[in-house]
Amino acid sequence: MSYTAGDSTQIQGLRHGVLGPVLVREVVVPLAFVLAILASNYALASLPDVKFFDLLVFAAGYTLGFRRGTMVAAGAWLVYGTFNPWGTAGPFLLVILMMSEMVYALAGAGLRRLVSPQRIRFAPGWQSLLFAAAAIVCTLTYDVLTSIYTGVVWAQMVGGTEYGRWIWIALFNPGALLFFAVHGGSNVFFFSFLGPALVKGVERGKEALRWER
Give 2-47 as a 3 state SS string.
CCCHHHHHHHHHHHHHHHHHHHHHHHHHHHHHHHHHHHHHHHCCCC
Q: What are phi and psi of 65, to 5 degrees?
A: 100, 160
* pLDDT tens-digit series, residues 98-149: 999 999 999 999 999 999 999 998 887 888 999 999 999 999 999 999 999 9
> How many residues make up the chain in this entry?
213
Q: Tens-digit pLDDT profile for the chain (213 aa)? A: 444 544 444 444 444 455 578 888 999 999 999 999 999 999 999 998 899 999 999 999 999 999 999 999 999 999 999 999 999 999 999 999 999 999 999 999 999 999 999 999 888 788 899 999 999 999 999 999 999 999 999 999 988 788 999 999 999 999 999 999 999 999 999 999 999 999 999 999 988 887 765
In 3D space, the residue among 12, 61, 6, 11 whose CA is nearest the CA of residue 33 turns out to be 61
Looking at residue 212, its pLDDT comes to 66
CA gap 140, 67 in Å, rounded:
22
Contact 141, 100 (CB under 8 A): yes
195 C-beta neighbours (distance < 10 Å), count: 27
CA gap 172, 125 in Å, rounded:
34
Distances (CA, A) of 149 to 2, 142, 143, 176: 58, 11, 10, 13
Overall CATH class of domain 5-208: mainly alpha
Domain ranges of the chain: 5-208
12 burial level (CB within 10 Å; 0-12, 13-18, 19+) = exposed
